[in-house]
């Protein structure tokens, strides 16, 4: 076998940042690391890429092995390559992030590595540079959410305006005025009102809506900056 001479071996890993929404709170999925160093410490879902794998296939394999989740859409975030990021060997990491409706996937989640959902404000200390990865994923998500309805990946097929508001408040870590939010989101004309109401969270109940995907495809600009984003939220 021909090899490049005089080159040092560098490992390549994948880490998966999984954000979820349970209808009320925006959360992050973490596991307890299964091997040294930092065994049993809280971690993102990660592992090494095998010789026959591309990064996308490795990310999906690792996520399934460590959490039981599969069929989750993931998007590549960026490469983390600080030479000192892993204390054992030089390891470059390709990070991915995903958005899921927690209730849609809760039956898939296994307990092999004690996978657990955390509110971001309650996120424990993470190994290596995983906290930095989460921060970068938040920035990317906030940017994309201001441009198009990527956050609907976190919602069930039908949802209420209060649920949508709670999701945006969780993403941007801010308070949004209820009446202004409702007025602006409905003014996009991209939501279809349903006849059913969610009566679990209030006596009056809140109507369910669905995203009009056809109208959105024709006029996605209607969602551009439809809510004011505080400066601190983009930090």
**Number of domains the chain contains:** 2
Residue that terminates a domain, selected from 102, 131, 160: 131
Asked, for residue 5, whether it belongs to a domain, the answer is no
Asked, for residue 2, whether it belongs to a domain, the answer is no
Same domain, 109 and 189: no
Same domain, 38 and 85: yes
Same domain, 33 and 80: yes
Residue in 204, 124, 194, 191 with CA at minimum distance from that of residue 164 = 191
Backbone torsions φ then ψ of 141, nearest 5 degrees: -65, -45
Q: CB–CB of 74/16 below 8 Å?
A: yes
pLDDT at 212 (0 to 100)? 86
Domain coverage including residue 16: 11-131
Residue that terminates a domain, selected from 131, 162, 189: 131
Peptide bond into 191 cis (omega under 30): no
Same domain, 158 and 122: no
Same domain, 159 and 119: no
Q: What does the block give as tokens for 153?
A: 């990946």
CATH classification at residue 163: 1.10.10.10
Residue in 123, 127, 136 with CA at minimum distance from that of residue 76 = 136
Asked, for residue 3, whether it belongs to a domain, the answer is no
Asked, for residue 136, whether it belongs to a domain, the answer is no
Asked, for residue 123, whether it belongs to a domain, the answer is yes
Same domain, 79 and 174: no
Residues in the chain, pLDDT under 50: 228, 230-235
Q: How many CB atoms lie within 10 A of CB 5?
A: 5
Same domain, 119 and 164: no
Asked, for residue 66, whether it belongs to a domain, the answer is yes
Going from the C-alpha of 89 to that of each of 9, 11, 34, 38, 51, the distances in angstroms are 9, 8, 17, 14, 17
Same domain, 157 and 119: no
Q: CB–CB of 17/137 below 8 Å?
A: yes
Give the DSSP per-residue string, the chain. Answer: ----TT----EEEEEEEEEEE-SS-EEEEEEE--SSSSTTSEE-EEEEPPTT--HHHHHHHHHHHHH---S--EEEEEEE--TTSSSSS-EEEEEEEEEEEHHHHTTT---TT--EEEEGGG----STTHHHHHHHHHHHHHHHHTTS-GGGGGS-SSEEHHHHHHHHHHHHTS---HHHHHHHHHHT--EEEEEEEE-SS-SS-EEEEEE-HHHHHH-GGGGTT-SPPPGGGG-
pLDDT at 60 (0 to 100)? 96
Same domain, 182 and 120: no
Q: 99 pairs with which residues across the strands?
A: 19
Asked, for residue 137, whether it belongs to a domain, the answer is no
Q: CB–CB of 14/96 below 8 Å?
A: yes
Residue in 108, 78, 105 with CA at minimum distance from that of residue 93 = 78
CATH classification at residue 37: 3.90.79.10
Same domain, 124 and 197: no
Backbone torsions φ then ψ of 92, nearest 5 degrees: -95, 135
pLDDT at 75 (0 to 100)? 93
Residue that terminates a domain, selected from 104, 131, 158: 131
**Model confidence pLDDT, tens digit, residues 128-185:** 999 999 999 999 988 877 776 667 777 788 899 999 888 888 888 888 888 888 888 8
Q: How many CB atoms lie within 10 A of CB 196?
A: 10
Within a 13 Å sphere around the CA of 55, how many CA atoms are in the beta-carbon half? 18
pTM: predicted TM-score of the whole model, two decimal places:
0.84
pLDDT at 132 (0 to 100)? 98
Same domain, 116 and 165: no
Asked, for residue 6, whether it belongs to a domain, the answer is no
Same domain, 114 and 186: no
């Amino acid at each position: 076998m021909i090899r490049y001479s005089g080159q040092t071996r560098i490992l390549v890993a994948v880490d998966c940042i999984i954000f979820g929404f349970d209808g009320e709170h925006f959360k992050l999925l973490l596991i307890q690391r299964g091997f040294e160093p930092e065994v049993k410490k809280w971690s993102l879902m990660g592992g090494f890429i095998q010789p026959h794998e591309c990064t996308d296939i490795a990310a999906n394999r690792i996520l399934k092995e460590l959490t039981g989740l599969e069929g989750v859409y993931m998007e590549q975030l960026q490469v983390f390559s600080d030479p000192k990021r892993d204390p054992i060997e030089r390891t470059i990491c390709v990070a991915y992030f995903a958005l899921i409706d927690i209730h849609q996937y809760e039956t898939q989640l296994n307990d092999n590595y004690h996978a657990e959902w955390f509110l971001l404000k309650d996120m424990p200390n993470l190994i290596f540079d995983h906290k930095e990865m989460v921060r970068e994923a938040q920035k990317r998500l906030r940017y994309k959410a201001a441009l198009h309805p990527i956050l609907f990946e976190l919602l069930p097929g039908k949802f209420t305006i209060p649920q949508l508001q709670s999701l945006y408040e969780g993403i941007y870590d801010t308070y949004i005025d209820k009446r202004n939010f409702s007025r602006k989101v409905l003014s996009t004309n991209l939501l279809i009102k349903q006849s059913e109401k969610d009566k679990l969270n209030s006596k009056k109940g809140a109507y369910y809506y669905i995203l009009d995907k056809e109208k959105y495809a024709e006029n996605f600009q209607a969602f551009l900056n439809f809510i004011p984003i505080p400066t601190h939220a983009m930090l």
